[in-house]
Structure 1
Amino acid sequence: MTASVEFRGLRRTFGRTVALDGLDMVIEPGEFVALLGPSGCGKTTALRCVAGFEQPDSGAVLVDGKDVTNVPANKRDAGMVFQSYSLFPNLNARDNVAFGLRVRKVDAPTRHRKANELLELVGLPTHGDRYPHQLSGGQQQRVALARALALEPRVLLLDEPLSALDAKVRVALREEIRRLQLDLGITTIFVTHDQEEALSVADRVAVLRDGRLEQVGAPAEVYDRPATPFVAEFVGTMNHVAGNVSGDRVTVLGQVLPVDGPVPAEPSVDVLIRPEAVQVSPDPDGTAEVVAASFRGASVRLRVAVDGGEVLADVPGHEAIRLGAGTRVAVRLVERPVLVAPRTVAAPAPVAADAV
């Protein structure tokens, strides 16, 4: 049986550092929610409060409407997978998975059967007799996941479980975790600082900053309609382009676009524009010029010099053939509402061309 999880006014400090500053959020039964944000934003502290490893200074954690804030960790119906695998080196994979069942005094035949079932579930049916040092990093993390599931928790907590793995294994394992979560229907909270990871697996993404919730929503919503400039900057790549606001419209790169969200008091602003919203076409009389190109598989990321700075533009690979460095081009922005922010002294340069 799965459960809802609620953070209600959660606050946690460490000395003068505020890790959580009144966090409010509800996670529905069976939902997969990713807590996303930079280091120190409070995402792991929130997870540890659910697990019972951290005690909040104020506020409450509720599971299915029941306040579990003061319930000991070993009495909570939650399974946790850590960044480090934390397997017992003297136990084989089967016994590592069955360890919690052993503590609960489940008989040996039952716990061995359950452990074998879980090892098969995570794709390691023939690895039960192997010890941690005989397993790859990805295999060890699968064993750790199976161990967390052995006690049939109502809530699964994942604390950056993939960060120690290489890129290819990370992609495969995150897809496996999502498959298992959907098959089991278990409420899952997944902590990560990797935006691609969060957007690819979660039902909803919660972006945290300085212990506060900036935005929570479906991945497409958070990416396409960021609620704040911080979310826009943190999730995906964002161009800063100088513009001028008049009413609810902004003039940028010779175009007039509607403003999405609050408008600063000063007319001079930074306009936040995704690289895929920048359209580039060859034009001998164009006022812009391609500076560099970076191959990204199906698309190519261009760095383009425009009046007043540079922008990044993502174009299909077949179009990029005509857009090599030094090509004069015309730049046009997709007609859709844009976020604006108070103008900085000097608009930040776009993220490096190989950034996500």
Structure 2
Amino acid sequence: MSVSTTAAAVAGRTEPAATRGGGARVEFRGLRREFGSGVVALDGLDLTVEPGELLALLGPSGCGKTTALRVIAGFETPDAGEVLVDGEDITRVPANRRDAGMVFQSYSLFPNLSARDNVAFGMRVRKVPAAQRAARAAELLELVGLPEHGDRYPHQMSGGQQQRVALARALALEPRVLLLDEPLSALDAKVRLTLREEIRRLQLSLGITTIFVTHDQEEALSMADRVAVLNAGRLEQCAAPSELYERPATAFVAEFVGTMNRLPGRMTDSGRVAVVGTEQPVDGAAPEGARDVEVLVRPENVTATVEPDGDATVVAASFFGSVTRVLLDLPGGVSVKADLASRDAGALAPGVRATVGLAEQPVLVVAAAS
């Protein structure tokens, strides 16, 4: 994630999702899905999505996030567990009867149909009268900002415009749940930013429960009410973006979300941890019986000051607008990243000697690698 966007991306939501409208409540209960090769995609997933909430499923490739989305859509059948929507078990309900709208990464528009007819396709299948279909399609194209594009075919539209049409098509039947499977990953950065803001605006205005699969941390943290981090088919943590970033529940979450330094430390008799010349309080429990540990620290909590006799050496400095990320080498082959205000980082050029410190705050401590 870009250093300059971290603060905005992790800003907390001020309005509880459940107060925003009539979206459905979705529950995953003990979901397990194993494929023939012995790969376990979901390993007892328990997760609840509140009505009207936008929940992002985030994790590395193969963590199970897309499988979870396909299970709720009805494209995958779990080996064990249940999927409930507003208390109704839909685990064995066919996909075409689940009242869920899905938007794919690849758009999946019909190339021989205009934008208007693509949006109206599901209504035509359900035999909605032609006049009603046309009115609804025009309304939705207006909603997604494409009122003049109804007669255009997919090849006549940009990727961002095609994805807007796909979103309008998913909303045409007024689904109880909207499912988004990495819908922005094929777009360039500027279009991606614009479209994610539009998706969030629409989701908030409609109050529809939305599950958004992404591998992009910035997308997840900036769009979602809560983010569920998956790892090897299991839920590591589900929390608001600010909590996920500032108070990660596990070392995996701490290192996967954002950037994290891993520094050698030593537990003290007082229960604190000594690290880079400071003593810090421990967040949670330290590894039992361990003296030598590793300490997880965000770059923005690292300080660096020019000092001719300092034991750190600046290796590189990367400018990100208001923030500059400085990479320093410490004794013992340890490297540390520090995110500093650019106005204070000008003197920290490569080769300069410096002193490194940490802001006083609780830190996560894990067992030292053997």
With normalisation by structure 1, the TM-score equals: 0.95
Residue in 1 that maps onto 2:293: 269
3-state SS in 2 of match to 1:98: helix
3-state SS in 2 of match to 1:294: strand
How far does residue 262 in structure 1 lie from its aligned partner after superposition? 2.7
| Aligned-partner Cα distance in 2 for 1:187–1:152 | 11
Taking the TM superposition and a 5 Å limit, the aligned residue runs for 1:60-75 are 60-75=82-97
Deviations, residues 100-142 of structure 1 (Å, cap 9, x unaligned):
0010111111111111111111111111111000111111101
Taking the TM superposition and a 5 Å limit, the aligned residue runs for 1:195-344 are 195-246=217-268, 248-264=271-287, 265-308=289-332, 309-344=334-369
3-state SS in 1 of match to 2:254: helix
**1:11 is aligned to 2:32:** yes
| Aligned-partner Cα distance in 1 for 2:294–2:219 | 28
How far does residue 284 in structure 1 lie from its aligned partner after superposition? 2.3
3-state SS in 1 of match to 2:328: strand
3-state SS in 1 of match to 2:285: coil
Residue in 2 that maps onto 1:83: 105
Counterpart of 1:331, as a letter, is V
Deviations, residues 64-112 of structure 1 (Å, cap 9, x unaligned):
0111101111001110001111000000101001100010111111111
How far does residue 344 in structure 1 lie from its aligned partner after superposition? 1.7
Residue in 1 that maps onto 2:151: 129
Counterpart of 2:47, as a letter, is M
Counterpart of 1:330, as a letter, is T
Deviations, residues 191-228 of structure 1 (Å, cap 9, x unaligned):
01111110000000000011110000000000000000
| Aligned-partner Cα distance in 2 for 1:66–1:337 | 43
State which drifts further: 141-150 or 255-264. 255-264
3-state SS in 1 of match to 2:338: strand
Residue in 2 that maps onto 1:350: none
Q: Which runs of 5+ in 2 are unaligned?
A: 1-21
How many residue pairs end up in the alignment?
345
How far does residue 261 in structure 1 lie from its aligned partner after superposition? 2.2
| Aligned-partner Cα distance in 1 for 2:71–2:218 | 25
How far does residue 330 in structure 1 lie from its aligned partner after superposition? 1.7
Residue in 2 that maps onto 1:58: 80
3-state SS in 1 of match to 2:343: helix
Of 135, 138, 141, the residue aligned with 1:116 is 138
Residue in 1 that maps onto 2:55: 33
Counterpart of 1:318, as a letter, is R
Residue in 2 that maps onto 1:157: 179
How far does residue 329 in structure 1 lie from its aligned partner after superposition? 1.6
Q: Which runs of 5+ in 1 are unaligned?
A: 346-356
State which drifts further: 120-129 or 324-333. 324-333
| Aligned-partner Cα distance in 2 for 1:245–1:329 | 25
How far does residue 287 in structure 1 lie from its aligned partner after superposition? 1.8
Cα RMSD after superposing both structures: 1.0
How far does residue 63 in structure 1 lie from its aligned partner after superposition? 0.2
With normalisation by structure 2, the TM-score equals: 0.92
Counterpart of 1:9, as a letter, is G
3-state SS in 2 of match to 1:46: helix
| Aligned-partner Cα distance in 2 for 1:145–1:68 | 23
Deviations, residues 154-178 of structure 1 (Å, cap 9, x unaligned):
1000000011111111111111100
| Aligned-partner Cα distance in 2 for 1:282–1:164 | 43
Residue in 1 that maps onto 2:18: none
Of 98, 102, 106, the residue aligned with 2:124 is 102
| Aligned-partner Cα distance in 1 for 2:83–2:321 | 44
Deviations, residues 304-340 of structure 1 (Å, cap 9, x unaligned):
1122211001111111212111222221101111111
Counterpart of 1:325, as a letter, is P
| Aligned-partner Cα distance in 2 for 1:246–1:44 | 44
Q: Percent identity?
A: 70
Counterpart of 1:320, as a letter, is A
